[in-house]
Amino acid sequence: MRALIIIDMQVDFCPGGALAVAGGDEIVAPINAMMDDYDAVVLTQDWHPPDHSSFAGNHPGAAPFSTVTMGYGPQVLWPAHCVIGSAGAAFHPRLDADRADLVIRKGFRAGIDSYSAFRENDRDTPTGLAGYLRERGADDLHFVGLAHDFCVAWSAMDARALGFRATVIEAATRAIDLDGSRDAARTAMRDAGVTLA
Ligand code: VGL
Ligand code: ZN
């Protein structure tokens, strides 16, 4: 069966938010319109404690959008965003979040970021989403949301690695595009067997 995985459609990733993705709010209505076409609808929610290690402000002297090496490898440092319980962490007000079967939060451990909906950035700690989808009988996953070149791409590639079919509906995504990350993500997704639609 088919599941729609809606990545991080939150206030902070939309224009006016702390880590705004250009045009992020343009995809709210198209995503709402897609929901009824799926057997299962899952929302992910980026959900960081204030002392999260992906926040540039928690690394004295480090600039936002620079890269540091963490215990698990390279990590981009972001402006503080999606802080647990904050207004910026809420779903976009026009997103039909009531329609979701499951909301899965990620990035709630201070020491590890989590771009992927399936595994944290140490590439090892599971979120539990794969087990949920397998128990529901979902084998064909479609991904939309924010941001194309980080959380959407990492989620879709992990889905392939975990044995799901994975398609990214690119018209219902928007990219951060940091140093060419959008094109790099497209190449990496294709190489991983993700369908770009
Ligand atoms: C994301 C950077 C940091 C995303 C989340 O949703 O793509 N990007 N946290
Ligand atoms: Zn984040």
| CB 100 within 8 Å of CB 132 | no
Q: Tell me the pLDDT tens digit for each residue of 40-93.
A: 999 999 999 999 999 999 999 999 999 999 999 999 999 999 999 999 999 999
DSSP annotation of 8? -
Mutate to test the pocket of ligand 1, among 46, 65, 108, 152 (most ligand atoms within 8 A of CB): 46
Cα Rg of the chain (Å, integer):
15
Q: What residue segments make up the domains of the chain, in order of their start?
A: 2-48+89-196
Q: In this predicted structure, what is the pLDDT of residue 134?
A: 98
pTM tops 0.85 = yes
Catalytic amino acids? 8, 106, 151
2-48+89-196: CATH architecture: 3-Layer(aba) Sandwich (3.40)
